[in-house]
Every structure is written in structure tokens, then in C-alpha cells.
Amino acid sequence: MSTSFSTRLQRIQSEKDTAVCVGLDPVPSRLPALLRDGRLQTDAVRAFCASIVEATAPYACAFKPNFAFFEALGPAGLTVLDQVVTTIPDDCLLVADAKRGDIGHSARFYARSIYENFDFDACTVSPYLGRDSVAPFLEHDGTCTLVLTRTSNDGAADVQEACTCDGTPLYRHVARTAGEWANDGDGEVGLVVGATAPDALAKLRADAPTLPFLVPGVGAQGGSPAAVMDAATSENGAVLVNSSRSILYASDGPDYAEAAADAAQSLRDALRT
């Protein structure tokens, strides 16, 4: 049996003293001018992401490539993604921000693509279709399926908080149900919980004290590092705090990689306090 995702994450976090996950969301029009010099977009994105990974890896315990930004590059986009993944060092875990959510064979092949072809350690998954959409991901030992629970976007409350199940907000019902699904698989379940809703984050940590949390929304979306750690820290539940835009685009000049490193280091330090 493979070492669990949580065990590996906690070991890396202990060794590197960081909870930072760097999101890789490359927008070609936002790349530094020196990379928009007439070269192909695929080449520019590859160079940009490789530089960001090299600069920020000392301050990160994980990287989270967002599939949408690579798929938007066209047929070559997944090749670029694969090439970027190979630049990520062994002392950082790989989280696929793919937000898959289908059933049956479709879910099984999505999981095979992410966990076997790309060799990711974790993947974000929508639970809206129920157990059928998550179970195929849990067939992969040593991985973590991160279930979208209470997300960081402005419209999250429209459904996740407004809808209830037996008097419980939907997001808390999702967390409890997802934790039960993990009992039937080889892989782990974790929760995606936004930094922009610290009260919900605290409630979910109380509901799920041992599940790993992926927490987006720090940085450009305004989430507070201190509030996140206060709400999400538990004795046995790992916390992975993601930042994308505020690190990737800390500078649009020739010093973009150095600025990204400084931003990642600053977030690492803020999460320690």
C-alpha cells in the first residue's frame, strides 16, 4: 500500500516548514513582456511556469496546475502541462485543479488520466452528482480526492449556504458525506474550503478534524492567512493554503520570478504566525 497523501504532505510540511501551495494559472496576456516576444504561446507558458516553479519551490510544499488554463492553449496544452509537471521537484506534491464531476466510465477515465498518466497526488472533484462521481477517484491508493465543499468565489453562498439538507447547510452536509465515502476506497478524501469564509472554515474543521483541507482564496481574493490558520489548524488534519495570482503576477517585469519567490516567501511566513 502506498504512503497516504496526508502522511506525505505532513512530512514535507514539517521538513520545509511551509503550508504554501502555488497555483499555476498561466494567462498568456498577463505574462511578462520578455516572454511575449513573438514566440508561441505554448512556449511562453512553458517557460513562465518553469521559472515560477524553480523560484517558488523552496517556499512551497505543493503546486496546483489549473487544467483550464492549459487546455485553453489548444491540443498542445496538455503536453505543456505534462512538461511543467516534470519541473516540479520531488519535495512538493502535485494537486490537479481539474474540478471533475461525472459518473461511471467518464469519472473512471478522468481519474486514470490525472492519477496514472499525469501522476498527480490529488485532484479537485465536484460532488454534485453524488458518490458515483467521487468513487472512481478513490480507487487510486495514496491519492487524495479534494471535494469542492465551501468554495472561495463570490457566488459560493448562492447554493452552498442557502440550500439545506435536513436543516444543515449544504456545504456541511457535503463534508460529512464525503468523509463517509472515503471509507469505501483506497485513496483519501479532502475538502476544498475557501479562505474567504473563515466562519464556514472553522465549522468544517470541527466537522472534519482529520481530513486534509485545500484552502484557496488567500491573496488576490482577500483571504487572511492568520484567519485561515486559526480556523483550519487541527492536530491531525493537514492544511494546504493555495495562492495563485498574487504569486504568479507579483511583477510583470524581468524580475517576475524573483518577485514570485518573494510573494511565496511572504505567504509562508504569514502562515507561520
d(CA 269, CA 271): 5
The 10s digit of each residue's pLDDT in 115-158 is: 999 999 999 999 999 999 999 999 999 999 999 998 887 787 77
Q: Which of 92, 82, 84 is nearest to 122 (CA)?
A: 92
Q: Which of 187, 186, 204, 208 is nearest to 195 (CA)?
A: 204
Contacts of 156 (CB under 8 A, 6+ apart): 150, 194, 196, 197
User: Is beta strand 93-100 parallel, antiparallel or unpaired with respect to 144-150?
Assistant: unpaired
Catalytic pick from 16, 64, 99, 203? 99
Q: Please give the CATH number for the structural domain made up of 5-268.
A: 3.20.20.70
The 10s digit of each residue's pLDDT in 53-99 is: 999 999 999 999 999 999 999 999 999 999 999 999 999 999 999 99
pLDDT for the residue numbered 170: 80
Tell the residue number behind the cell numbers 474543521, with chain if given.
205
Strands (DSSP E) along the chain, which ranges? 20-24, 62-65, 93-100, 122-125, 144-150, 164-165, 168-169, 188-193, 213-215, 239-243
Q: Which of 47, 59, 137 is nearest to 87 (CA)?
A: 47
64 is catalytic: no
User: Is 213 in a helix, a strand, or coil?
Assistant: strand
The full length of the chain comes to 273
The 10s digit of each residue's pLDDT in 152-206 is: 877 877 766 667 777 788 888 888 999 998 887 889 999 999 988 888 899 999 9
How far apart, in Å, are the Cα atoms of 61 and each of 10, 74, 120?
9, 29, 14
pTM of the model: 0.94
d(CA 220, CA 79): 28
